[in-house]
Every structure is written in C-alpha cells, then in structure tokens.
Amino acid sequence: MSSSSPEAGAGRRSRREMTVARIADLAGVSAPTVSKVINGHAGVAVDTRRRIEDLIREHGYQRADRTPPASIVEVVFQALDSPWALEIIRGVEQVARGHDLAVALTEMQGHLTPGRGWSDQVRSRRPAGVIAVSAELTRRQLAHLSTAGIPLVVLDPSGEPQHQTPSVGAMNWNGGLTATRHLLDLGHRRIAMINGPDRYLCCRARLDGYRAAMDAAGVPVDPALLRTAPLYVEDGRDAAAALLELPDPPTAVFTGNDLQAIGVYAAARAARIRVPEDLSVVGFDDLTFVQWSDPPLTTVRQPLTDMGATAAQLVMTLAAGARPDHSRIELPTSLVVRHSTAGPPRRS
C-alpha cells in the first residue's frame, strides 16, 4: 500500500489528533504525568506508567518532531557469532540498499532485552526503522520508539508476537513436522530431538512439530530422547554424547539448528558411530557450510535472507506512513535431503 492511499492518510490523521492531553484523559492522569512517561523521566508509579505506555502504543501517539530520520536501518541481535545472523543481515541490506539506506548493527551480548539506555540511544540516532531479532523489548522501550515515530519490526520473535508490532518468522512447526516425518518414513522409531531453549517461540514450534509427527505415526515419544541445549556446536555435541550413552540409544537425531547438528557429528565420531549408517542426523536452517560437511547435512531450510528482506520491507512500509497488509508474516520452510540420513541400522 502506498503512502498516498486514503487508509494511510487516515492513519496519519488519527496519530496527529492523539495528543498528550487526550492520552492523559484516557489514563485518568495529568498531562505532565504523561509527558514524564513520554520523555523517560522518573516519578511515575509503575502501574500508571504501564497504563500510559499501553495507551501510547494502542493509539499510535507520536511526538511532533520535524527532524528527518537518519539514512540507516538498525538491526538488533542477541549475538553476532553465527552464520545465521549473517544471512539475515544480507536480506536486510538488499532492501536497505534499494532505498539508499545503510544498515547499523547492535549486539545485546546474548541477552534477550537491550540495555536500559538502548531506546534513548536509538531515539538520538533516529534511524528510519528498527528490526529486533529474537528480542524482547520492555514496555518502556516500545513506548519510546512509538512516541519517537521510529518503526519497529520483530524478526523471529522470542515470545508470542504482539499484535501491535509487525513480526516476521518461519513455519517452524511445519519444519519440525517435515523433518521428523522424513526420519519416520525411513523407518526410524528411536528418534531423539535436541532442541534449543524453550524461551524461544521458534524452538517450541519445532518441538511441537516433532511431537505431532510422532503422534500421527503412532510412535510414543520417549522423554529420555528429548534434550534442551543452547544453539551452538559444543552444546549439541554434549547433548548427543549423553544420548549415545543411553542403554537404548537413538537411531536418529533431529536438532534445533545446524550448529547443534554439527555437534552431533562430533559426538558420533568420538563414539565411533557412523553417520548415516548407524545414526541419521537432521538439522535446521540450511546454513551454507552444511552442504560441505562430512557427510553433507540433511536439514530444514529456513529462508533467513528472505526473512531479513521481508522485515526490512515492513519497516519501509511503516516509515512511509502506511499500514502493512499483515501484522504477522511466516515464510515457508522446506526439507533439503542430503547424505546424513538413511534407514536405521539392523539390529543383530
């Protein structure tokens, strides 16, 4: 939808009409109290502050500010230590370049929520928009961005997507279902899953897809075959090592991401277990390097570059004053079969 559409114009008019006095009236407080919240000042009770912040977001209130935004899109990551992040950045950059914008990166050093002063810093930088990747912003941070008129899009939200904030994700449930169904079709029944932390919505969805496939096949899920670990190689290795030491070990492992799957490879090598002859492995993401692993990894392709591009397009739509057609976009996943999966080994 273009910024010149009647609906976009109506949206801008309603935002201009929403004043500090009107917010104060709706919240049952004074205008100076609302101003304190808008400007991030202390001296407002927690419940009152939350009520005002919710109204600010609900009605799309923005402060009058004639300063044009900087020519950047800011992307906020928990960490920049994975090829996963690079794929997302590539997609954002493709769209930003087409709008003559640069891409700025912020790392939260592994935390889900940016630091306390982050939203103030963003308001001073005035980017054209913010893409928060797997982040949980506080009410105060959300209100700060909203009042400053800085568009926000959440990519791969860690929790349930909030209706007011546009978000982009992948069909993780279907990916988990497809990966597990592939292993079931090969004849596996002792299928383990090493999943990422359950605080992430994507990981919960992948586990639910795994459970759905097992249930549809009439195969009970053995709790001993379910492990949770951070989404890194060494953690996948340690979880797989414990699984392979079970009296009745799995014949196949589905992991929460490709890095964990490479960790499973390492554990299998240490235990002198062959992939895929003795153990089948399926990852998730389809990072570029896994096609060169030994053996090449069967995995679920998550369209990370497209997800980054879609989030950037949403930011551009919001920055133009238009409303996106959908507040939640999920892109499809697909199974990529390579050489890390085969039928289960024959029992002697």
pLDDT surpassing 80 at residue 43: no
Please, are residues 343 and 186 in contact by the beta-carbon 8 Å criterion? yes
Instruction: Note the pLDDT of residue 284.
Output: 98
Q: Using CA atoms, how far apart are residues 38 and 61, in angstroms rounded to an integer?
A: 10
Instruction: Note the pLDDT of residue 332.
Output: 97
Task: Please report which confidence band the pLDDT of residue 52 belongs to, taking 50, 70 and 90 as the band edges.
Answer: confident
Q: Using CA atoms, how far apart are residues 141 and 277, in angstroms rounded to an integer?
A: 51
Please, are residues 281 and 340 in contact by the beta-carbon 8 Å criterion? yes
Q: What are the CB-based long-range contacts (under 8 Å, 24+) for 239-243? A: 239/194, 239/263, 240/194, 240/264, 240/266, 240/267, 240/268, 241/267, 241/270, 241/271, 243/192, 243/194
Count CA within 13 A, CB hemisphere, residue 14: 14
| pLDDT tens string 234-269 | 999 999 999 999 999 999 999 999 999 999 999 999
Instruction: Note the pLDDT of residue 58.
Output: 72
pLDDT surpassing 60 at residue 348: no
Average pLDDT for residues 77-84, to the nearest whole number? 85
Alpha carbon separation from 68 to 65, 135, 150 (Å, rounded): 8, 26, 11
* Residue (of 298, 308, 301, 299) closest to 329 by Cα position: 308
Q: What are the CB-based long-range contacts (under 8 Å, 24+) for 13-18? A: 14/59, 14/60, 15/59, 15/60, 15/61, 15/62, 18/59, 18/60, 18/61
Lowest mean per-residue pLDDT among 41-50, 191-200, 296-305, 335-344 = 41-50
- Give me the count of residues in the chain: 348
Instruction: Note the pLDDT of residue 162.
Output: 61
Q: Using CA atoms, how far apart are residues 151 and 129, in angstroms rounded to an integer?
A: 5
Average pLDDT for residues 87-110, to the nearest whole number? 92
| pLDDT tens string 172-184 | 999 999 999 999 9
Lowest mean per-residue pLDDT among 60-69, 83-92, 162-171, 300-309 = 60-69
